[in-house]
A and B are shown apart, each in its own frame.
Chain A
Amino acid sequence: MSDALHHLQKNALKPKYTGARVTRKEDARLLTGASRYLDDIEIPGMYEIAFVRSQRSAARICAIHLDAAQATPGVKRILTAKECPCFFGSAEDVANGVVQPALARDVVRYVGEPIVAIIAETRYAAEDAVERVQIDYEPLQPVLAMRESLLDQPRRVHEKTPNRMFHSEYQTSGFEDAFQAAPHHLVEVFQTHRQTGVPLETRGLAATIDPGSGRLTIYATHQSPHGLRGDMAVALGIEENELRVIVPEVGGAFGIKAHAYPEYLVVAYAALKYKLPVKWISDRTECLLTDVHARDDIHEVEVAFEGNGRILAIRDHLRADAGAYSAFPFCGAIGETVLASRVLTGPYTIPHLATTIDCTYSNKTPLGAYRGVWGPIASFVQEGIVDRVARALHLDPVEVRRVNMIPDELFPYTNAAGQAYDRGSYRASLEKALEMLNYDELRAQQKTLRDHGKYIGIGISAFVEPTAMAQSEAGSVPYESATIRIEPNGSVTAAFGLGPSGQGHETTMAQLIADELGVDLKDIVVLHGDTDSAPFGGGTGGSRSGPIGGGAALKAGRAMKEKLQTLASHLLEAAKEDVQLEDGKAFVAGVPTRNFSIRELAQVAYTDVLRLPEDFPVGLEVVARYQPKRPVTFSNGTHIAVVEVDAQTGMIEVLDYVVVNDCGRLINPLIVEGQIQGGVAQGLGSAYLEELRYDDQGQVTTTTLADYLLPVATEVPRMRIAHLETPSSGEGGFKGMGEGSLIASPAAFANAVSDALEPFAFMVSALPVTPDQILAAIDRSRDSMA
């Protein structure tokens, strides 16, 4: 090939869509109200289900009175554990000899646990009947406090199983010596309180028997269509091919829809058993009670450090409350603690780490995934440690970060827990964020304002985000699949096993394929969410869809490109390597008039097959799977929050927020920034607003969105975002980025409040931090000074 031709081809390969701010393909249907979410699915003759739920956190069920409910007009069937003997057992529970029945039998173990399912003609009728069910309970003492629960106090949640459902220990070699030898030490207890994802669309399931094939079809709001199919088939005792899972439009998921729930089994079982189409959609109170909870963790931390701020060793006893059962199919308490223990040193070269992990059963809702899972907790602890070291030594928090930050020359870097970080922009992201904020000037202003009784705080959070892990919420499927079919008219249909819930995969995957095939974005249709048409995949979770799904899109795109080039080179009588794809045409490089459109090639491939080259398979279809070589790729970045705390009211106002984010090569900056902005808003909720509160009887007292506060438009700051791009070694150079913003932001918000309240010697050690805590701290400080 001549240099000129090589140059030409190189230019032609310049991506048109990848990296561009492309508006989304999904939006037309969403903006006009035409989209179909689960509750919009209408199956003729469909019944609705409502559940009678436990009002006790711990009790024996003595009797269930159903007569009045049975007599309610519109009621079709009523199920208890006797009629619906299904159960879910996660690996963690099964190892402990525990399974969760779909409907509680004999004993209830958390408020909201389903006991009775009522199938009726309408939800109104089903709810009428729910009100008429009476359940006699014999109360048991609830197990609610993590520390006591670990000692089996006041009793065991599951009679035959100790409450401590998971334990592990880890220590770097030489830890004790290094820890003891350090000149400075500090201790702190960090606690995060229960929160949950709260997607605006509640979760649910509809199920029906396909009259033609007799197969069970379920419609589910879920992140892993194939994962759900496998799990449901096992639990229902049917073969996987007897079950079709359709995931319609999903109105947000955030991890809570990576789980399967007891109600799903009841709905599917009822459809199978009674041959009825049935649907259940959670109401918001049911969601707050029974969507997996998250973030119920305690970290007892000891830190050893030097006088210049260099941190030498961290010891952490991590505890998490799993709830009454392990969530299915994985346990949030174990996920939050085990993975937090692996990234506790964050972006810093802290050489020594010792962790002890204890997870416990309780009479609370099962703990599961919420965006970021372990990350927001680990960052809160890690960045809280850094700021405490700075305060103890009267150093600027930035200086302590600079002293400890992993320098560029040490990558790839293996941290104290054995996690291998690939290259990033650790130091650069910190410096860039400081520059965007005009940090030094702001520090000077802060001082002046303090003298006038105004308390401004600057909170820094430098983060690592493990993404695209071989194991994640999307199960242990370490790859993704993509099929591409060019239709007889030349349009492109691609299908994925992903389970998007607003991330815009139809757009980003189409961008990647469009660039490979040289076709217009509008000529590509991306399918997902139907196990009958999508290739097997892990789904969406753990920030894996961009890097792994995107890798699959690139591989499939290249395979299709190769087919088109082979076909075109035959028809054009040109060398295959001279055939280029651009503007929907295949042409000989340098001679664009010698071309075949993709449509013409498709016609040959499907209908004029005698013109195909020898051995060229009829049609144009490929399937590709991509499994990254690395078991994980780390995104990184720095967030800085600037807040003002009103010392009179304890109220917090966010004044400024900057983000420097590095998720490798960007597919679509518009979408990446949207993900970041949403994650920061959730981080604000995590830091200042959101808490699922329990009373001393194990009752959840935050059962509506009037009690569980989500951030509103007036509270969330305008964010300033900059990108750095350190490509991963994976396909396309992509790293995941769905969770980093929520991993980093709670720590930034918490540290900002700590910084603002430095004159009162206060540091945030529990999230969320609320005005009453702030006022109490200010009062304590004033009392001690007086």
Chain B
Amino acid sequence: MSETISLSLTINGKPHTVDVEPRTLLVHLLRDTLQMTGTHIGCDTSQCGACTVLLNGSAVKSCTVLAVQADGEQVTTVEGLGTIENLHPIQQGFWEKHGLQCGFCTPGVMMAATDLLAHNPNPTEEEIRDGLEGVLCRCTGYQNIVRAVQYAAQQMNQQVAAPEVAAEAEGGRG
């Protein structure tokens, strides 16, 4: 298995060029090759979603994506979401609303929530639950995850609202 393929991709805004075995999974590229261990592996069969990252802005389960499929693409992981000094509103929401316990599923859940809010900035509780159906949490019973996403949606809409009041007026998003 010494045969390798060279690929280039952008992770959290930073370009990387790496050599990997063709069979290498994206999650192993992130975790093992690049030592970005914020993305976790929980099931190997794409049920749990702990490994969820954004591929060109869309949530994917990185245990079910070959690294070579990300060649030339943009990947965002939890490490690219926010920093301890400058947390993303989704991270703030999870903190404020106790949306995590052991924290193992949390990076994947937050990436799925990022995708969800990008497509639906004002989700109802039902829409949040639907949107997170592909990620499993064994600790929280999801209730505080829902509250965390609601909190984030509110924060993000406020952030957006201020500069975009004029633009939004026509769109009628309110």
A binding-site residues for B, Cβ under 8 Å? 23-24, 26-37, 39-40, 42, 73-74, 122, 124-125, 128, 197-202, 249-254, 283-285, 501-504, 670-671, 673-682, 704-706, 710-714, 716, 718-719
Extra pairs beyond A23-B98, A502-B139, A716-B141 (5, CB < 8 Å): A27-B94, A502-B103, A677-B141, A713-B132, A714-B130
Total contacting residues, chain B, CB less than 8 A: 60
Chain B residues 101 to 116 lying within 8 A of chain A, measured CB to CB, are 101-107, 110
Tell me, rounded to whole Å, the shortest Cβ–Cβ distance linking A72 to chain B: 9
Check A252 against B125 for contact (C-beta < 8 Å): no
Contact, CB under 8 Å: B144 / A677: yes
Q: DSSP majority for the B interface?
A: loop
Asked, given contacts A32-B91, A33-B39, A716-B143, whether A710 binds B98 with beta carbons under 8 Å apart, the answer is no
| CB nearest to A502 among chain B residues | B102
Whether the Cβ atoms of A713 and B142 lie closer than 8 Å is yes
Residues B1 and A128 in contact, CB atoms below 8 Å apart: yes
Contact of B50 among A30, A35, A200, A679 (CB under 8 A): A200
A-B contact pairs, 18 of them (CB 8 A): A23-B96, A32-B79, A32-B91, A33-B77, A37-B37, A73-B1, A124-B23, A201-B42, A502-B102, A678-B101, A681-B141, A682-B138, A704-B44, A705-B43, A706-B45, A713-B128, A716-B142, A719-B143
Residues A284 and B82 in contact in the complex (CB < 8 Å), given A124-B1, A200-B50, A250-B102: no
Given A200-B42, A704-B43, A710-B138, A252 contacting B102 (CB threshold 8 A): yes
The verdict on B157 contacting chain A, using a C-beta distance below 8 Å, is no
Please, which residues of chain B bring their CB within 8 A of the CB of A677?
Answer: 140-144
Q: Of A34, A73, A252, A676, which one neighbours B138 at CB under 8 angstroms?
A: A252
CB contacts (< 8 Å) of A29 on chain B: these are 84
CB-based contact B42/A714 at 8 Å: no
Query: Which residue from chain B places its CB closest to the CB of A670 in the assembled complex?
Result: B98
- Cα separation A202 to B83 with both chains bound (whole Å): 27
User: Which B residues lie within 8 Å of A681 (CB)?
Assistant: 138, 140-142
A residues near B95, Cβ cutoff 8 Å: 23-24, 27-28, 31
Q: Is B146 located at the chain interface by the 8 A CB criterion?
A: yes
Cβ of B132: which chain A residues have Cβ within 8 Å of it?
712-713
* Complex Cα gap A23–B95 (Å): 7
**Are A30 and B44 closer than 8 Å at their CB atoms?**
no
Chain B residues lying within 8 Å of A675, measured Cβ to Cβ, are 101
Q: Which A residues are CB-close (under 8 A) to B42?
A: 200-202, 284
> Is A284 a contact partner of B104 (Cβ separation < 8 A)?
no
Complex CA–CA separation, A733 to B126 (angstroms): 39
A705 to B94, CA, bound (A): 25
Assess whether A30 is in contact with B103, with CB atoms less than 8 Å apart.
Answer: yes
Q: How far is the CA of A403 from the CA of B38 in the complex (A)?
A: 54
Q: How many whole Å from A588's CB to the nearest CB in chain B? A: 38
Q: Which residue of A lies closest to B107 (CB)?
A: A33
What residue of chain B has the Cβ atom nearest to residue A198's Cβ? B138
Interface centre among B1, B42, B77, B128 (most CB of A within 10 A): B42
CB contacts (< 8 Å) of A711 on chain B: these are: 141
Q: Which residues of A contact B21 (CB under 8 A)?
A: 124
**Contacts A33-B38, A36-B37, A201-B102 given; does A678 touch B83 at CB 8 Å:** no
Q: Known: A201-B42, A674-B98, A716-B142. Is A705-B104 also a contact (CB below 8 A)?
A: no
With a cutoff of 8 Å between Cβ atoms, the chain B residues found around residue A24 in the complex are 95, 98
Q: Which single member of B91, B104, B125, B142 contacts A199 (CB below 8 Å)?
A: B104
In the complex where A24-B98, A124-B21, A714-B130 touch, is A674 in contact with B140 (Cβ < 8 A)? yes
Contact A200 B102 (CB under 8 A): yes
User: Are B101 and A31 in touch, CB under 8 angstroms?
Assistant: no
Residues in B neighbouring A34, C-beta threshold 8 A: 38, 84
Q: Chain B's nearest CB lies how many Å from the CB of A480?
A: 21
Q: Are the C-beta atoms of A674 and B83 separated by less than 8 Å?
A: no
A251 and B37 in contact, given A706-B45, A718-B143 (Cβ under 8 angstroms): no
Question: Quick one: which of B35, B81, B143, B146 has the most chain A CB within 10 A?
Answer: B143
Decide if A671 touches B83 in the complex (CB within 8 Å): no
Query: What is the CA–CA distance of A249 and B102 in the complex, to the nearest angstrom?
Result: 8
Contacts of A250 in B (CB 8 A): 102
**B102 in contact with A704 (CB, 8 Å):** no
The 10 closest A-B pairs by CB, nearest first: A33-B38, A251-B104, A502-B102, A30-B103, A681-B141, A677-B141, A502-B101, A705-B47, A33-B78, A40-B37
A705 touches B45 (CB 8 A): yes
In the assembled complex, which residues on chain A have CB atoms less than 8 Å from the CB atom of B146?
A: 713, 718
User: Closest residue of chain A to B128, judged by CB?
Assistant: A713
Chain B nearest Cβ from A701, distance in angstroms: 15
Q: Are B141 and A680 in contact (CB under 8 A)?
A: yes
Q: Is the CB–CB distance between A39 and B37 below 8 Å?
A: yes
Contacts of B39 in A (CB 8 A): 33
Whether the pair A33, B79 counts as a contact (CB closer than 8 A) is yes
How far, in Å, is B66 (CB) from chain A's closest CB?
13
Q: Assuming A679-B141, A681-B141, is B87 touching A31 (CB within 8 A)?
A: yes
User: Chain B's nearest CB lies how many Å from the CB of A702?
Assistant: 12
Interchain CA distance A711-B140 in the complex, whole Å? 11
Task: Tell me how far the C-beta of A53 lies from the nearest C-beta in chain B, rounded to whole angstroms.
Answer: 15
Is there a chain A Cβ closer than 8 Å to B55's Cβ? no
Residue of B at shortest CB range from A679? B141
Q: When the two chains form their complex, are residues B103 and A251 in contact, meaning their CB atoms are under 8 A apart?
A: yes
Q: Which residue of A lies closest to B39 (CB)?
A: A33
Q: Nearest residue in A to B101 (C-beta to C-beta)?
A: A502
Indicate the member of A122, A676, A704, A716 with the most B CB atoms within 10 Å.
A716
**Complex contacts, B91 vs chain A, CB 8 Å:** 31-32
Q: How far is the CA of A737 from the CA of B107 in the complex (A)?
A: 27
| Known pairs A251-B103, A252-B104, A714-B129; A199 contacts B138 (CB<8 A) | yes
Q: Which residues of B contact A200 (CB under 8 A)?
A: 40, 42, 48, 50, 102, 104-105, 136-139
Q: How far is the CB of B95 from chain A (nearest CB, A)?
A: 5
Closest residue on chain A to residue B100 by CB atoms:
A30
The residue of chain A having its C-beta at the shortest distance from the C-beta of B21 within the complex is A124
Q: Closest CB of chain A to B112's CB: distance in Å?
A: 10
**B143 cross-chain contacts in A, Cβ below 8 A:** 677, 716, 718-719
Q: B37: which A residues are within 8 A, CB to CB?
A: 33, 36-37, 39-40
Of all chain A residues, the one with the shortest Cβ separation from B80 is A33
- Of the listed residues B35, B38, B77, the one surrounded by the most CB atoms of chain A closer than 10 A to its CB is B38
B residues in contact with A73, CB < 8 Å: 1-2
Nearest B-chain residue to A125, judged by Cβ:
B1
Beta-carbon contact of A713 and B133 below 8 Å: yes
- Confirm or deny: B54 has a beta carbon within 8 angstroms of a beta carbon on chain A: no
Shortest beta-carbon distance from B74 to chain A in Å: 18
Complex Cα distance A249/B40, Å?
A: 13
Q: Is A283 a contact of B44 with CB atoms below 8 Å?
A: yes
- Distance to closest chain B CB from A121 (angstroms): 11
Q: Which residues of A contact B130 (CB under 8 A)?
A: 713-714
CB nearest neighbor in A for B125: A718
Which of B2, B82, B135, B140 makes the CB contact (< 8 A) with A32?
A: B82
